[in-house]
Amino acid sequence: MPRQERDTGFGYVVREVARHVGVVFLVGATVATVASQITPDALLPRGVRLGISIAKGAAAKAADAAEPTAAPVNQQRVGIVAGHKGNDSGAVCPDGLTEAQVNLEVAGRVQATLQLAGYAVDVLDEFDARLEGYRADALVSIHADSCEYINELATGYKVAGSMAATAPEQSAALTECIIQSYVAQTKMNFHADSITRDMTFYHAYREIDPATPAAIIELGFLNLDREILESRPDLTSAGVSNGILCFLRGNPATP
């Protein structure tokens, strides 16, 4: 084929420029397509990517923790005194079982049940500083009776309401709810004859806000009632919880 003369005119220059621009555009488009499919982190060394991942996770957790939790509106509050907690052991059995242990176990279960039902619950020490002027929709102090053998009649539970309340009928309603709920759960006898002055004039009654309905329960005798007190806290705590719920929900039992 005869050799053609090289075109060096203006048309040749235009064609060459267009060709090079087209190549550059094609390469740029290809790079852009590939880059769009690769995340920026993927271009980094593995160790750096791991550090970024950890940092992102920590930042997300911090953001979640910083998110404020709205407090329940008009949430009813209940105070539970775990008898002798923070002060002494209460009654002590020969093998070392203490009244304070029994009381605290039941108090913790009552707290869990009431919280699950939507109530705010404070578990208080026997002489808790918070008792001074304490205001709640109900306060119940949990105790148990002696571990010493007295006689065959020393079995059963007892409940006494506050005499210092400005609305004693509310404390009476709370007391009656607990009496009936406790016997329904435990089948124990109500031992009214052994209610003492320490119960009817319980120290916390004089410390709390007088508008707070309050009651104290002796769960049973640690001697003759030990089996249910030690082995069935599910029953004893349910008796107390149900009694409090009966009162709070406006369903006081009829004496």
Residue 71 lies in a domain: no
93 pLDDT above the threshold of 80: yes
According to DSSP, residue 40 is labeled: G
Rounded CA separation 99/84 (Å): 8
On whether both 128 and 29 belong to a single domain, the answer is no
Instruction: Specify if 200 maps to a domain.
Output: yes
Q: What is the mean pLDDT of residues 6-16?
A: 47
Spatial neighbors of 245 by CB under 8 A, at least 6 apart, are 114, 117
In-domain check, residue 255: no
Measured CA to CA, the distance from residue 246 to residue 250 in angstroms comes to 6
Q: How confident is the model at residue 1 (pLDDT cuts 50, 70, 90)?
A: very low
Q: How many domains does the chain have?
A: 2
Instruction: Work out the average pLDDT over 10-20.
Output: 47
pLDDT at 114 over 50: yes
Residue 25 confidence (pLDDT): 40
pTM for this model (two decimals) = 0.71
- 141 and 228 share one domain: yes
Q: In what order do the strands lie in the sheet with 77-82?
A: 120-124, 77-82, 138-145, 214-221, 158-161
With respect to residue 215, please indicate whether it lies within any of the assigned structural domains.
yes
Q: Which domain holds residue 58?
A: 10-66
